[in-house]
């Protein structure tokens, strides 16, 4: 630490799903090391991390809170008094990001607008399963995101230093309840009716709360009490170096129980472990009208519980690893399939001078619209690959019509419109969902919502939704893109023209989703390299 000044203390809660690496990150920060094997956190574990911010010593009290995807283990008393928190996600498990986003809302409701980090852990590993678009959106929304690795230490010190610096500019949150937890080591004299012989046989430290809020040891303190809490010998606070000790936070809940006067009520803290101490558990109750706090050092039964959770953790991580590997290999296969499909589709599109950029954009635009409509990710992925096949039937249209620069005759128009049925015939007969969707799109993407389209004159919901989506994406791209036979239309004029066809040409709901997806569609058009697009005004 820098100088002789007492460190400024700040409580930091480490939160996230089970097995995302919270304990590994704390250990890396505090001890500077990584272990392949370590005990799973049960309840809460508190460690101290000393850092220096602009020559000022800062002590971060890191509350490593056991992961739970339904938040049941994240009690309000654990969070209160926090000056900041870290949401930890696993780069290999997409669901952990969803949990963190949902958890943040609950945490903010309890601790308020305090600084927090999103720590993307395990970024040293090759397989990433997070939704990069969601990460980008969170960053744009102001989330402080750090990519870290507990294994290598990359980014860990910098992340905690960043959080400490941001917290230092704010007043510390008050400890939960403001409890000092002072203990008088002298046994109390009025022990009648407290069944102390039973409690002593259970190796439990019994503390009675007085009217002033201090605690007195009742009966004989177990041998371990002086080991865990040497401050008791001098009548000092338990863990006096910490304004944010676990027991002070638990007393926030315990005091509410004692205030009810309910003689039958009891409240358990769940397992906790202060820095350097043993696993403990506290219980608040009333006996003979007196508020008692029972402290028990957890032994073999707790160790077995941890061992069970440890095995469950290992099994879950292995299952997740295998699932991620399957998704990765599936994605590789899908990429190869997509490349083959796009090359085949481009054979048709190249006859129209576009060389595949158009079909790529249609797939991406359609996926963006479907996401706004709430489609699930597998269906969105199918649509992204199926939409480019919308005009595959043009392979059966003569060049004299497809490449004509002048006005077509009625006979030529009739023949050109058969590309929908030709495409459907090319794609029919498959039991692959992707190709079944592609067939629907090829057949129906020129149908109109009001029933005036072709080839079958379908209307409304009789038109497959995938085809309704592609219809909007196709018209937008055709209007704003320069072609050999036409100039690009400025986007504001294109949108005005499309808006006039909402409810006639286009499904109103799909068109509205397209409008909401426009910012993403514009980004995609630039990413594909659409230099032939008209300026966005």
Q: What is the pLDDT of residues 220-232, one digit of tens each?
A: 778 788 777 776 6
pLDDT tens digits, 62-71: 988 876 655 5
| Whole-number Å distance between alpha carbons of 270 and 298 | 11
Q: What percentage of the chain exceeds 70 in pLDDT?
A: 73
pLDDT tens digits, 360-414: 889 999 999 999 999 998 899 889 989 988 988 888 888 888 777 778 888 999 9
| Phi-psi group of 508: left, alpha or beta (phi > 0 → left; psi -120 to 50 → alpha; rest → beta) | alpha
| Whole-number Å distance between alpha carbons of 459 and 452 | 8
DSSP 126: S
pLDDT tens digits, 25-58: 998 999 988 876 555 556 788 888 999 888 889 8
What per-residue confidence (pLDDT) applies to 531? 43
What per-residue confidence (pLDDT) applies to 25? 92
| Whole-number Å distance between alpha carbons of 312 and 319 | 10
pLDDT tens digits, 179-207: 555 555 454 444 544 555 555 556 788 88
Q: What Cα–Cα distance (Å) separates residue 141 from each residue in 102, 136, 138, 144, 145?
A: 15, 9, 5, 9, 11
Mean pLDDT of the chain: 79
Q: What Cα–Cα distance (Å) separates residue 287 from each residue in 113, 197, 221?
A: 40, 14, 18
Dmax over CA atoms of the chain, in Å, equals 110
Task: State the pLDDT confidence band at 80, using cuts at 50, 70 and 90.
Answer: confident
DSSP 241: T
Spell out the residues 6+ positions from residue 38 whose beta carbon is closer than 8 angstroms to its own. Answer: 23, 24, 27
Beta strands in 333-477 (DSSP E): none
144 pLDDT exceeds 80? yes
Fold of 8-173: Rossmann fold (3.40.50)
pLDDT tens digits, 414-433: 999 999 999 999 888 888 78
* Superfamily for domain range 337-528: Hypothetical protein af1432 (1.10.3210.10)
Does the reported pTM lie above 0.85?
Answer: no
Structure token pair of residue 533: 């697009």
DSSP letters along 133-183, please?
Answer: HHHHHHHHTT-EEEE--TTT-TTHHHHHHHHHHHHHTSPPPPPGGG---BE
CATH of 178-298 among 1.20.1070, 3.30.70, 1.10.3470, 3.30.450: 3.30.450
The gap between the terminal CA atoms of the chain, to the nearest Å, is 57
Written in H, E and C, the secondary structure of 318-338 is HHHHHHHHHHHHHHHHHHHHH
Structure token pair of residue 311: 């095995």
pLDDT tens digits, 302-350: 666 666 666 665 665 566 666 666 666 666 666 666 666 666 665 555 5
Q: Domains of the chain: which residue ranges?
A: 8-173, 178-298, 337-528
């Amino acid at each position: 630490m820098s100088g002789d000044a007492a460190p400024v203390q700040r409580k930091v809660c480490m939160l996230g799903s089970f097995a995302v690496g919270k304990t590994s990150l704390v250990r890396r920060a505090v001890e500077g090391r990584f272990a392949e094997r370590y005990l799973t956190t049960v309840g809460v574990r508190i460690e101290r991390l000393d850092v220096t911010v602009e020559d000022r010593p800062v002590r971060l009290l890191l509350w490593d809170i056991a992961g739970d995807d339904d938040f049941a283990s994240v009690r309000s008393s654990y969070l209160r008094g926090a000056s900041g928190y870290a949401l930890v996600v696993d780069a290999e498990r997409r669901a952990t990001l969803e949990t963190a986003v949902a958890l943040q809302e609950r945490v903010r409701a309890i601790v308020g607008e305090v600084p927090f980090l999103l720590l993307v852990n395990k970024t040293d590993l090759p397989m990433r399963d997070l939704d990069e678009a969601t990460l980008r959106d969170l960053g744009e929304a102001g989330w402080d995101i750090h990519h870290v690795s507990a294994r290598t230490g990359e980014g860990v010190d910098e992340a905690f230093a960043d959080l400490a610096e941001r917290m230092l500019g704010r007043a510390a949150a008050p400890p939960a309840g403001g409890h000092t937890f002072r203990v008088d080591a002298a046994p109390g004299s009025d022990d009648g009716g407290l069944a102390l012989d039973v409690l002593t046989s259970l190796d439990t430290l019994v503390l009675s709360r007085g009217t002033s809020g201090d605690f007195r040891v009742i009966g004989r303190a177990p041998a371990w009490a002086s080991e865990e809490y040497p401050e008791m010998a001098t009548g000092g606070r338990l863990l006096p170096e910490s304004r944010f000790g676990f027991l002070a936070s638990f007393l926030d809940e315990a005091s509410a129980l004692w205030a009810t006067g309910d003689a039958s009520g009891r409240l358990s803290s769940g397992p906790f472990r202060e820095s350097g101490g043993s696993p403990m558990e506290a219980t608040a109750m009333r006996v003979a009208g007196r508020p008692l706090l029972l402290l028990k050092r957890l032994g073999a039964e707790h160790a077995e519980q941890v061992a069970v959770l440890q095995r469950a953790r290992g099994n879950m991580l292995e299952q997740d690893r295998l699932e991620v590997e399957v998704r990765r290999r599936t994605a590789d296969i899908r990429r190869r399939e997509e490349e083959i499909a796009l090359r085949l589709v481009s054979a048709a599109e190249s006859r129209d001078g576009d060389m595949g950029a158009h079909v790529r954009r249609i797939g991406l635009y359609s996926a963006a619209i479907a996401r706004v409509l709430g489609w699930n990710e597998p269906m969105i992925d199918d649509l992204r690959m199926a939409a480019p096949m919308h005009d595959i039937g043009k392979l059966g249209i003569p060049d004299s019509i497809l490449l004509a620069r002048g006005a077509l005759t009625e006979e030529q128009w009739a023949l050109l419109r058969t590309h929908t049925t030709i495409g459907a015939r090319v794609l029919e007969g498959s039991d692959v969902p992707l190709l079944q969707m592609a067939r629907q799109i090829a057949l129906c993407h020129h149908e109109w919502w009001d029933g005036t389209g072709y080839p079958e004159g379908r209307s409304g919901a009789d038109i497959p939704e995938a085809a309704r989506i592609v219809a909007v994406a196709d018209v937008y791209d055709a209007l704003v893109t320069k072609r050999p036979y036409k100039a690009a239309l400025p986007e504001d004029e294109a949108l005005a023209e499309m808006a006039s066809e909402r409810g006639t040409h286009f499904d109103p709901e799909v068109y509205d989703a397209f409008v909401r997806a426009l910012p993403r569609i514009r980004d995609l058009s630039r990413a594909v390299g659409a230099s032939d697009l008209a300026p966005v005004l």
